[in-house]
Amino acid sequence: MNYKPRILESLVHRAAGEYPVVTITGPRQSGKTTLCRSLFPDKPYVNLEPLDERDYARNDPRGFLAKYPGGAVIDEIQNAPGLASYIQVAVDDNPAPGSFVVTGSQHFGLTQAVSQSLAGRTAMVHLLPLSFDELTSFDTAADDLWQVIFRGAYPAIHARRLNARRWLENYLLTYVERDLRQISAIGDLAAFANFMALAAGRSAREFNSSAIGGDAGVSHNTVRAWMSVLEASFIVFRLPAWHGNLRKQLRKTPKLYFVDSGLACRLLGIRSAEELRRHPLRGEIFESWVAAEIFKHRTHRGEAGGMFHFRAARGPEVDIVVRKGFSLIGCEVKSAATMDGSFLRPLHRLEELIEGTPESGALSKRLVFGGDRGQKRSQVECIPWREIHQKDWM
């Protein structure tokens, strides 16, 4: 399989030149192993997924690391979390930049080990599934919006020309039946799987833990715990509400988005791109795809946070707000292929509301829509879906 360059490469190279350890996290099958082996071909590589390597690293960490005096790429390090303490000793003795590159899929296990042992010694970066501009490097990349959204962005689907629906079904089975069994907080896997499907139906909406708990038959505290698991394993992310310096009555509930649109479609039981095109939730799924693309654009360039949504209690709602110091990007999202002037009203209303605040005069207004030709209307930049990565979201 030919390696396709990833945007994260420059961030990893920079981190390897500054820190003795680089930690790369992300969901399973996002391409972490391929990235590391391609960027560091001269480093020894070891995967802690096989039981023999895992047991060696757990039971004799000193002996295990002695095999790699110049460092190594260590894959799935969350399978031997205690190893991070011994890596700390090794890099304190020899703090050469880029000695160890470690990866992990289970952010919840990996982060705890790294934060306790490698604080100040490692740079942590996140590799998410392919962004749309990365996806277009594959000769199998779809040119139709709904095909792009339906297939999702996990590299294996595109690199190996796999049936997306079948691959995502197996991915979910692996995630629920294998990965989640390692989390003590998840007792009823069937209930959790149902919760994931309910969450997919609420993508691009404000997340109300009590409401989804009522539908799932679990307490709102359980919903919060389970949502933390989905976030920690890079299945979903949430955008907090932006309020800036406004003295208005604003909604403060975060909005929920899925990192991969294909996974959301599979959870909703959508069986084809054509079915998605006619689905009643197609607008929400398109908004989730746009939010995830902006999230990937920023994450793969090392930018954390800074994404919000805006909603007044009685007033406008702007789907995505990106903060750049005192500058803002307000972004509305519409799946329609044809522009309509009403799409722009929330952005103009937001501009009126921030008048007199430090953000006044520093709002860039954008609309991402499902059409093919861009235009500018009333100082709003209308961006076709396929041109989303030609814009700066930083």
Residues 45, 37: Cα–Cα separation, whole Å? 8
pTM, whole model, 2 decimals?
A: 0.95
Helix (H) or strand (E) holding 217: none
User: Which one, of 290, 310, 317, 245, lies nearest residue 393 by Cα?
Assistant: 290
User: Which one, of 57, 89, 62, lies nearest residue 74 by Cα?
Assistant: 57
Give per-residue pLDDT as tens, 196-211.
999 999 999 999 999 9
Q: Are 296 and 185 in contact (CB under 8 A)?
A: no
For residue 331, what pLDDT is reported? 98
Q: The CATH number of 9-126 is which of 3.40.50.300, 3.40.30.10, 3.60.150.10, 3.90.79.10?
A: 3.40.50.300
If phi > 0 it is left, if psi is from -120 to 50 it is alpha, else beta; for residue 346 that is alpha
Q: Which of helix, strand or coil describes residue 338?
A: coil
Q: Is the pLDDT reported for residue 94 higher than 80? A: yes
Give per-residue pLDDT as tens, 15-24.
999 999 999 9
Helix (H) or strand (E) holding 30: none
Say if strands 327-334 and 317-324 run parallel, antiparallel, or are unpaired: antiparallel
What is the overall mean pLDDT for the chain?
A: 92
Beta bridge partners of 126: 25
Spatial strand order in the sheet of 122-126:
45-47, 73-75, 100-104, 21-25, 122-126
Q: Is the pLDDT reported for residue 249 higher than 60? A: no
Helix (H) or strand (E) holding 71: none
For residue 371, what pLDDT is reported? 96
Q: Is the pLDDT reported for residue 392 higher than 70? A: yes
Give per-residue pLDDT as tens, 129-186.
999 999 999 998 899 999 999 999 999 999 999 999 999 999 998 887 777 766 666 7
CB within 8 Å of 78: residues ≥ 6 apart: 104, 105, 106, 109, 110, 113
Say if strands 205-206 and 255-258 run parallel, antiparallel, or are unpaired: antiparallel
Amino acid at 193: A
- Domain spans, the chain: 9-126, 130-394
Residues 360, 367: Cα–Cα separation, whole Å? 19
CB within 8 Å of 120: residues ≥ 6 apart: none
